[in-house]
Structure 1
């Protein structure tokens, strides 16, 4: 059964619970540091990965928050949405298409995340994206916003908004694009051929994606491509050694929050 106190204890949070910016910022970062992203279960879900966008809250809570497994965007952002609503925040469901290796974007309904309005300002709230991305919520604005050595902007592109990230080296890179409006879960009931085809491509590739944040960055494992983002610097290695690969997987999915560079 979903339990706010158990959830907050899992995140190691003991502060105030009023719906304010400091609370949102602290909970967001703690969530990314505590509960990992893990796409392993998607391998058993076939070509309809979004059949449970409207998650079974109690079941998912028992498996992820209490049971300790990682989750994907629908689960992690779904649980966090319920937590925020129970604390008095007003939360909208958003969706996005993530940037692919060839520079294109996935289908509009591919990635599920949240948005919160506080004192008239709209924030992007996303604890279910493996990264590299923001550790604390960012304002829906094209003004540069600095976090831990990275700079983020949300720019217009026709009817879309595009999330951009720039580290200490190089220029801005696209992360994902979205339409700035609340989504209904009914939109995923008939997701369309593009989303099904996208899911089939993911299944065929068979690449597992895992990630967890730490105090000044993120650890991201896509297959054997291991990216550590620390203070705005990206470090990429390919983990050829099986023992090292298992060690990194255990670090990301385990209970420790130590840094690995």
Structure 2
């Protein structure tokens, strides 16, 4: 059963609860540190990736916050938005298409993220994206550079009418994270039949690649199959984990489970 006090305890948060930007930043970062992303849940769902998008908040809270399992975008962001509403924030949903390895974008409804309207400003909140991405919420102010832990972020407008979230580390140029239309969505939007989403779901299910990730103070660790991405102080490192024991150890650390049972 959803419980605000238990949620805040799981996030190791005992600070102010007034709905301010500072509180929002702290809760967002702590959420990414406390609760992992885990796409292995999609294995059982097969091509029906969004069938449970309109989550049972109480059931998902019990499984994720109290039970300690990871979640996917709509579970993690759905829970977090419920928490923010309890604390007095004005929240809503956006849909995003994630940048693919060839720099194209997935379907507009590929990803579920949240937003907050606060003091006349629009903020992106997303604790359900494995990354690399922002650890603290982003203000939707066109072209404004927003530094976070050695990495710069900005939101730019594209010719397609989308807003694009971009990131830039200490080395390299700007790269897209995902794009979105700043149009509020409802969970029901993901339940409307869509050939584009169906094709994407089939391709994702066929890849067999499981992605897990968790943030730490100032950075992120993302395990994509046997490839480990570590982002720390604006520097991104990628290496393969060929040793099964090392893979199990890293996986256990991300999921915070005993390596013998991971």
Question: Above 0.5 in TM-score?
Answer: yes
Question: Is 1:113 aligned to 2:120, yes or no?
Answer: no
Mapped contact 1:34–1:255 kept (Cα < 8 A): no
Give the secondary structure class of the aligned counterpart of 1:163: strand
Q: Which residue of 2 aligns with 1:197?
A: 199
Mapped contact 2:25–2:137 kept (Cα < 8 A): yes
Structure 1 stretch displaced more, 45-54 or 148-157 = 45-54
Structure 1 stretch displaced more, 187-196 or 35-44 = 187-196
Please list the CA deviations of residues 72-117 of structure 1 after superposition, one character each: whole Å capped at 9, or x if unmatched: 0010000001000011000010110001111111111110010001
Question: Is 1:220 aligned to 2:222, yes or no?
Answer: yes
Q: CA deviation at 1:255?
A: 6.6
Return the alpha-carbon distance in structure 2 between the equivalents of residues 95 and 45 of structure 1. Answer: 20
Q: 1:232 aligns with which of 221, 231, 234?
A: 234
Give the secondary structure class of the aligned counterpart of 2:157: strand
Q: 2:253 aligns with which of 235, 251, 254?
A: 251
Aligned-pair RMSD on alpha carbons?
Answer: 1.1
Written as runs of structure 1 = structure 2, the 5 A alignment for 1:127-166 is 127-141=127-141, 142-157=143-158, 158-166=160-168
Q: Which residue of 1 aligns with 2:92?
A: 92
Please list the CA deviations of residues 116-150 of structure 1 after superposition, one character each: whole Å capped at 9, or x if unmatched: 01101111100000001000001112211100000
Q: Which residue of 2 aligns with 1:52?
A: 52
Give the secondary structure class of the aligned counterpart of 1:51: coil
TM-score (norm 1): 0.96
Q: Which residue of 2 aligns with 1:259?
A: none
**What is the number of equivalent residue pairs in this alignment?**
256
Return the alpha-carbon distance in structure 1 between the equivalents of residues 28 and 186 of structure 2. Answer: 23
Return the alpha-carbon distance in structure 2 between the equivalents of residues 254 and 42 of structure 1. Answer: 20
Q: CA deviation at 1:191?
A: 3.8
Mapped contact 2:35–2:214 kept (Cα < 8 A): yes
Return the alpha-carbon distance in structure 1 between the equivalents of residues 234 and 257 of structure 2. Answer: 24
Give the secondary structure class of the aligned counterpart of 1:52: coil
Mapped contact 1:161–1:177 kept (Cα < 8 A): yes
Q: Which residue of 1 aligns with 2:179?
A: 177
| 5+ long unaligned stretches in structure 2 | none
Return the alpha-carbon distance in structure 2 between the equivalents of residues 15 and 147 of structure 1. Answer: 21
Q: CA deviation at 1:209?
A: 0.3
| 5+ long unaligned stretches in structure 1 | 257-261
Q: CA deviation at 1:18?
A: 1.1
TM-score (norm 2): 0.96
